[in-house]
Amino acid sequence: MLHKIESNPILDRLPAHLQQYIKPQNYDDYSPINHAVWRYVMRKNVDYLSKVAHESYLEGLKQTGISIDHIPNMYGMNRILKEIGWAAVAVDGFIPPAAFMEFQAFNVLVIASDIRQLEHIEYTPAPDIIHEGAGHAPIIANPEYAEYLRRFGEIGCKAISSARDYEIYEAIRHLSIIKEAEDTPQQEIEAAEKKVDQLQNEIAELSEMAQIRNLHWWTVEYGLIGTLENPKIYGAGLLSSIGESAWCMTDKVKKIPYSIDACKQEFDITKPQPQLYVTPDFAHLSLVLEEFANKMALRKGGLEGIQKLINSKNLGSIELSTGLQISGDFSKVIEHEGKPIYIQTSGKTALSYREKELVGHGIKNHKEGFGSPIGALKGINLAIEDMSPRDLSAYGIYEGKKIALEFEGGINVTGEIITGTRNLQGKIILISLKNCTVTYGDEVLFKPEWGKYDMAIGKEVISAFAGPADSLSFDLITHKTSSTTIKSKVTPEREELASLYASVRNIREGKNAKFSLDAALELVKKGHPKDWLLSVEVYELAVGKDEKLAKEALQNLENVKSRRPDISHLIDGGVNLIDAELVK
């Protein structure tokens, strides 16, 4: 049964290129087994994490309205999240890192609405609602951390990627899907793991996006807080994993003080982490983020920033000192003494000012690309952008005048000025010319027959970043994944097991049930010898009330343990939790 996507004021602000990733949660698709998995993980987590998680976790569970007994309905969550200025949306598995971070910048939590199988109850490499809803959501109730998350998204979505980043994203997405899916041949999983390993182990310079993704992993996903000797958990990956939340507290996992060096530490999403980083407090996270941002092309610009955009082979933008922004696929830069003196895009290009496209300078006007000199005029101490009307007149730079401009580095522009465009401060940001020729030595960069020439004005490139300056300039509704998450198969055997789980849940909640506890236990013993969680739930309801049934449930669990020793610790964990609650 499909549900419409309910909106709210926070979600209404999302641009269309982010809305393309949102899907309905389809709450009715969750089976009684799914709810039992959620309940087991949450009961175990809340019991254990009350001792080892940051204090914001348990507080946040209450504040965000996340139930221990039922998978959260996202629309109910949104009504509560709205009170702390956030919202949540459902998506299909992993989405591209830049989109994920941009959602964060809009105060929106991205929640993969699928839930792990019972077979992967301890950990799944695929993002799921346990990881997102029980991991991320509670911690954002802490205002200081919530602002870090928002700011991280704001900066992270501007990080410049490489072609290799997208390859890694697709490979990891595929691996996470097939590892979580049932009945995937081991050979197929090994081949996918090999591809991820090969890509991650290639000797290549880490892009900005790869580095900030590492920072995200070691803080938002797998972060510890406090001291090296006594850290607490705040990372969502740890908060949502009953296996790794215990493992990470042992001496087998190396604890390292969190610093900007974490941006170089890559990770394997399919394995427990061998080391984790500990921040003294949430404020330190923001300090490291700003330290990293200061090294990004977003804040440094210059020749290096343009080269990063060229190497990325993706849509990006530069901003000049006048505030003029050029967005497109950057294909060429001419440099002189370590500075860019000419930039060139190929294909659709748009010009903006303060993230707003300039009238008459969209992709229809610059569909073949855009090129312009950057920098100061040769032999003139005053940059064009700093010239007063009198200065411009003195140098012959005004409407109707034929000009011959020589820029430092050797770019020459000749032509007749049509008009100029100024910014709010009165600085010229663009000059349009006709009958224009642009040359660099013997190379002709623009010819008169190509039409009107628009010359960007700016003495330097102050910023370079991923994506367009104005998201409305380009058609960004193009997301297509190479794979989609694989749903569990519906079989008569699974439907019967689900009906047994439904009966146990209904009995717990005082509702009418198709099967009694005795009947449910008998049927699971006969028809589902591998299942263990239903017997744990029967034991929970019977112990202290029906000792005969409680003993039968325990005996069946012992039988399952002998057949499946690998899950003995899960059974023991569930039983011990119930016994401990009886003592309280």
420: Cα within 13 Å, side-chain hemisphere: 21
Q: What is the pLDDT of residue 52?
A: 93
Task: Please provide the average confidence, as pLDDT, over all residues in the chain.
Answer: 90
Mean pLDDT of 178-201: 77
Task: Return the minimum-mean-pLDDT range out of 131-135, 197-201, 268-272, 482-486.
Answer: 482-486
Distance CA 302, CA 458 (A): 12
Which of these, 178, 117, 129, 180, lies nearest to 25 by C-alpha position? 129
> Model confidence over 455-505: pLDDT tens digits?
999 999 999 999 999 999 998 876 555 555 555 666 788 899 999 999 999
The pLDDT-based confidence of 187 (bands split at 50, 70, 90) is confident
Mean pLDDT of 85-111: 90
Q: What is the pLDDT of residue 178?
A: 74
Q: Supply the pTM of this predicted model.
A: 0.87
Q: How far is CA 314 from CA 95, 311, 364, in A?
A: 17, 8, 19
Residue type, 353: Y
**Angle, CA 89 vertex, CA 85 and CA 94 arms, to 5°:** 125
Contacts of 29 (CB under 8 A, 6+ apart): 1
Which of these, 484, 234, 507, lies nearest to 521 by C-alpha position? 507
Ligand-binding annotation for 136, yes or no, is yes
Cβ burial of 167 (10 Å; 0-12, 13-18, 19+) is: middle
Ligand-binding annotation for 202, yes or no, is no
Which of these, 471, 506, 519, lies nearest to 105 by C-alpha position? 471
Strands 108-112 and 87-91, bridge-based pairing: parallel
Mean pLDDT of 341-367: 97
> Model confidence over 263-315: pLDDT tens digits?
999 887 767 889 999 999 999 999 999 999 999 999 999 999 999 999 999 99
Distance CA 321, CA 353 (A): 11
Neighbours of 456 (CB within 10 A): 20
Strands 402-406 and 411-422, bridge-based pairing: antiparallel
Ramachandran bin of 323, using left for φ above 0, alpha for ψ from -120 to 50, beta for the remaining angles: left
Q: What is the pLDDT of residue 426?
A: 84
> Model confidence over 542-562: pLDDT tens digits?
999 999 999 999 999 999 999
Distance CA 269, CA 197 (A): 11
Q: DSSP string covering 158-198, please?
A: TSPP-HHHHHHHHHHHHHHHHHHSTT--HHHHHHHHHHHHH
Mean pLDDT of 35-60: 90
Q: What is the pLDDT of residue 1?
A: 34
Q: What is the pLDDT of residue 2?
A: 39
Burial 517-551 (b: 16+ CB within 10 A, else e): beebbebbbeebeebbbbbbbbbbbbbeeeeebbe
> Model confidence over 391-450: pLDDT tens digits?
998 898 989 999 999 999 999 999 999 999 998 888 899 999 999 999 999 999 999 999
- Dihedrals φ, ψ of 446, to 5°? -155, 140
Ligand-binding annotation for 361, yes or no, is no
Q: How far is CA 51 from CA 45, 144, 232, 240, 272, in A?
A: 10, 22, 9, 15, 21
Q: What is the pLDDT of residue 486?
A: 52
Q: Which two three-digit tokens encode residue 291?
A: 């330290």
Handedness of CA 28, 34, 35, 36 (dihedral sign): positive
**What CATH architecture is 9-290?**
Orthogonal Bundle (1.10)
Mean pLDDT of 196-223: 87
Distance CA 431, CA 455 (A): 5
Distance CA 517, CA 131 (A): 31
Distance CA 314, CA 357 (A): 19
Distance CA 569, CA 556 (A): 15
